[in-house]
Amino acid sequence: MYKKICIYLSMGNSNLYKGSLTTIILKLLEEHDKMYGYEITQKVKELTQGELKITEGALYPSLHKLEADGLLDVEVAKVDNRLRKYYKLTEQGTKETVSKLAELENYIKTMQNLVNPKLILE
Amino acid sequence: MKVNQEQIEDLYTFTRKHFVEWYDVQTELVDHLANGIEEQWEQTPHLSFEEALKIEFKKFGVFGFSEIVEKKTNALEKYYRKEAWKLLKEYFKLPKIIATSFSIWMLFKILQLFNNKEYIVVFLMIGVACVYFFYILKELKRIKKINKQTGKKWLFENVIAQLGGLIHFLNIGIYMPLINFDRQWDTLALLSFSTCFVVYILLLFVSIKVVTPRLKEKLSKEHPEYKLL
């Protein structure tokens, strides 16, 4: 599923993934116990082989919104010589991830049907 | 190579210079910048700290940190209002609705006893305005004290002091011009005032006594430093 999302999103056009940023964050946090902002940007870059780059200006507002919506919990820990803010899914966040992923998968299917209807016949 | 303690302090100064006055927001940005600088040093070890920082900051776009601060403030205010609204709704469901209805009815009956009702209305409004201003002054004084002691300002605290933006809605002064001293206080007017006043008191109560302490507790859990204040 994740690979599918990444293939779909790694089209080089940032407008295509704008609406899916929340889903990407939730999916990553579902797979990892907790993550910090910079780690999320690097993980996305790594998974998409650099095709998809989440900008700092988009990532943090999304994380803060998800936190305010009660989908993420925050924990601050001292790492090396600085403080690090970790995000993790709340119970509500875990449920929301499932529904967001289903929504996105559905959308991908619809787009595939539109862009390449032959694939369905095969 | 790792960013040292002195450079971490420089990063805090850098965020402050770029209009991020809140320590809770600065902390996240400092860690992000430090991670980015360390990543650059892995690829280009001879790069200076200042050069690496310049490159990292550019990644935040033309608006720098301002958009992050603005959206974080909006998200926190929304969270505060949502919590207050959720708690307020509880007072209109069983069993609390019984106490709410009783309070409205009591106020309605008390107002019926007086001839010069507008004086009682003004007295009640001044009473709650005092509570409202006392809370704001107390919170602002506390924030100033923390800032003086630690040199840190917390966005969370600022949102709490402003009741998540409800401060404007709960400013009873804006409702004063609605009082008409020549009006006839019929049953409908009395009932409307009683209901609005009780709703106002409930909203002020859940904001000050429930949402604010809850948010402070949440911040204490997240930031061990805040717990010590």
Same domain, B100 and B33: no
The alpha carbon of residue B87 is apart from the nearest alpha carbon of chain A, in Å, by 15
Confidence of residue B224 (pLDDT cuts 50, 70, 90): confident
Nearest CB to B67: which of A61, A65, A82?
Answer: A61
Q: Does domain A2-104 have CATH number 1.10.287.110?
A: no
Q: Which of A44-58, B80-94, B161-175 has the highest mean pLDDT?
A: B80-94
Tokens of B62: 């033309």
Average pLDDT over residues B73-79: 93
Q: Do A85 and B4 touch (CB under 8 A)?
A: no
Same domain, B77 and B154: yes
Question: Of all residues in chain B, what percent carry a pLDDT higher than 70?
Answer: 97
Same domain, B97 and B29: no
Interface residues on B facing A, Cβ-Cβ cutoff 8 A: 2-5, 8, 27-28, 30-32, 34-36, 39, 59-61, 63, 67-68, 71-72, 75-76, 78-79, 82, 222-225
Same domain, B13 and B92: no
Query: In this complex, is the C-beta atom of A12 within 8 Å of any C-beta atom belonging to chain B?
Result: no
Residues of B in contact with A36 (CB under 8 A): 31
Each of the 122 residues of chain A gets a pLDDT tens digit; together they read 544 444 444 445 556 666 789 999 999 999 998 999 999 999 999 998 888 888 888 999 999 999 999 999 999 999 989 999 999 999 999 999 999 999 989 988 898 888 887 665 55
Query: Cβ distance B208 to B164 under 8 Å?
Result: no
Domain termination site, one of B45, B64, B83: B64
Domain span at B193: 70-227
Same domain, B30 and B84: no
pLDDT at B149 over 90: no
Residues of A in contact with B31 (CB under 8 A): 36-38, 79, 82-85
Mutate to test the interface with B, among A81, A86, A90 (most CBs of B within 10 A): A81
User: pTM for this structure?
Assistant: 0.84
Of A21, A36, A28, A50, give the one whose Cα is nearest residue B29: A36
Q: Do B28 and A68 touch (CB under 8 A)?
A: no
CB pairs under 8 A between A and B: 75
Q: Do B31 and A60 touch (CB under 8 A)?
A: no
pLDDT attached to residue A11: 45
Q: Which residue has the higher pLDDT, B43 or B118?
A: B43
Query: Cβ distance A54 to A44 under 8 Å?
Result: yes
Query: Distance of alpha carbon A8 from its chain centroid, rounded?
Result: 13
Query: Cβ distance A77 to B87 under 8 Å?
Result: no
Q: Do B36 and A60 touch (CB under 8 A)?
A: no
Question: Of all residues in chain B, what percent carry a pLDDT higher than 90?
Answer: 62
Minimum mean pLDDT range among A42-46, A115-119, B191-195, B201-205: A115-119
DSSP H/E element including B204: helix B187-205
Q: Which residue has the higher pLDDT, B62 or B28?
A: B28
Domain termination site, one of B64, B86, B106: B64
Residues of B in contact with A55 (CB under 8 A): 59, 61
Average pLDDT over residues B7-36: 96
pLDDT attached to residue A50: 83
pLDDT at B199 over 80: yes
Domain termination site, one of B14, B32, B64: B64
Average pLDDT over residues B70-81: 93
Q: Which residue has the higher pLDDT, B161 or A120?
A: B161
Query: In this complex, is the C-beta atom of A85 within 8 Å of any C-beta atom belonging to chain B?
Result: yes
- Report angle CA B153, A55, B72 to the nearest 5 degrees: 30
Nearest CB to B222: which of A36, A55, A74?
Answer: A74
In total, how many domains does chain B have? 2
In A92-121, the residues whose Cβ lies within 8 Å of chain B are none
Average pLDDT over residues B148-168: 89
Minimum mean pLDDT range among A43-47, B39-43, B147-151, B203-207: B147-151
Over chain B, what is the mean pLDDT? 90
- Report angle CA B4, B6, B9 to the nearest 5 degrees: 110
Same domain, B139 and B196: yes
Domain ranges of chain A: 2-104
> What number is the ipTM of this complex?
0.84
Same domain, B77 and B125: yes
Q: What is the DSSP string of B115-169?
A: S-HHHHHHHHHHHHHHHHHHHHHHHHHHHHHHHHHHS---HHHHHHHTGGGHHHH
